Amino acid sequence: MKVNKEELLKRCVQLIDDKLENIQQAINGYQQDLNSETKSSAGDKHETGRAMLQLEMEKLGQQYQTVLSQKNMLRKIEISPKTKAQIGSLVLANGFYYFLASSIGQVKYEEKTFMVISINSPIGQLLIGKQKDDCFVFNGKQLKIDEVF
């Protein structure tokens, strides 16, 4: 089975772009709420509301930076064919596809499910340096690498 890693990588970037857009929309919504918040006779209640909005915006700003760093990491990935698992590798093990890229999670592409994982994740650490026919144990299960793309 041939998988187009370039297209899979583009799909991952698109998912990251969608996340960035959603976070930005949420930030803009909070900013609008913050700007439209009017001083009322409830004084303290007003200040508490503003503080909560600002906290939410800070959290979203941190999320935005995290997702942006994921996108920057994806941009650096070299998708050339590999014989040993490394960043940019697609590994097929026991019928499951693992794309060593960034911690995105499950990605549906070409009617298949790929686990897009970081090399720093527990399973990513186990896969690094492995090649076809190597075995490893993850969550108490013996897995065998069928292919490294």
100-144 pLDDT, tens digit each? 999 999 999 989 999 999 999 999 999 999 999 999 999 999 999
Residue 81 lies in a domain: no
- One domain, residues 54 and 12: yes
Helix count (H) and strand count (E) of the chain?
A: 3, 6
Q: Say how far apart CA 83 and CA 48 lie, in whole Å.
A: 57
- One domain, residues 69 and 16: yes
Instruction: Give residue 107's pLDDT.
Output: 96
Structure tokens at 4: 């187009």
Among 75, 100, 119, identify where a domain stops. Answer: 75
108 touches 10 (CB < 8 A) = no
Q: Is the pLDDT at 29 greater than 50, yes or no?
A: yes
Nearest CA among 96, 102, 97, 98 for reference residue 77: 102
Average pLDDT, the chain: 91
Q: How many domains does the chain have?
A: 2
